[in-house]
Homo-oligomer: A and B are copies of this chain.
Amino acid sequence: MLLSTKGDYGVRAMIDLAKHAGEGPVQRSEIARRRQIPESYLDHLLAQLRRAGFVRSTRGPSGGHELAKPASDINLLSLLEALEGSLAPLGCLEPAVGEEATESICGQNWVWQEIYDEMRARLAAVSLAELVEHEREHERQAVISYNI
C-alpha cells in the first residue's frame, strides 16, 4: 500500500476545506465528523498541512482552518508528497543525497521509474478543485439514482 491513512485523511480534509471555502474557518471537529477522521489524529495532519503552506489556522472561539490558497492552485501531487513524503514505489528510486542509483543489482528499476514518472505526472495534473467537482458530481448521481 503506497498511501497510508495520512494521505487518505489529509486529502479528505482538504476536500472538506475546499468545499467550505469562503465561509470562514472550519473547525476540526466538523471536519472530523463529516469525513470520519479521528479528531486528535486530524490535529497532526492539519499541522503538517499548515507547515507545508496549504492551510491557514486561526485560534480562539470561532477559529478554525481554511485554505491558504485557491483550490485550483493546489495539485494532488504536492499535497500527497507533503503528507506522505516520497511516493516512490521502490527504495532504489530517488536515492539518498550523495549516493548514486544502485541500478546494477535491482533489475526492475527501469520499469518502475517509468511508472513512477507517469504517476507523478498524472497526480500533478489533478487539482483540489477537480476533486471537489468530482465529489459534487458523484453526489448528484447518488441523488438521481435514489429518486428513481
Asked whether, in the complex, the Cβ of B122 is within 8 Å of the Cβ of A114, the reply is yes
User: Given B1, B89, B92, B103, which contacts A90 in the complex, CB threshold below 8 Å?
Assistant: B1
Asked whether, in the complex, the Cβ of A134 is within 8 Å of the Cβ of B119, the reply is no
Please, how many angstroms separate the alpha-carbon atoms of A2 and B108 in the complex?
14
Number of residues from A at the complex interface, CB < 8 A: 37
The number of times this chain is found in the oligomer is 2
* Secondary structure type dominating chain A contacts: helix
Q: Does A105 contact B (CB under 8 A)?
A: yes
Q: Does A123 contact B (CB under 8 A)?
A: yes
Asked whether, in the complex, the Cβ of A123 is within 8 Å of the Cβ of B111, the reply is yes
Asked whether, in the complex, the Cβ of A8 is within 8 Å of the Cβ of B90, the reply is yes
Asked whether, in the complex, the Cβ of B2 is within 8 Å of the Cβ of A76, the reply is no
The 3 residue pairs across chains A and B that have the minimum distance between CB atoms: A2-B89, A2-B2, A15-B107
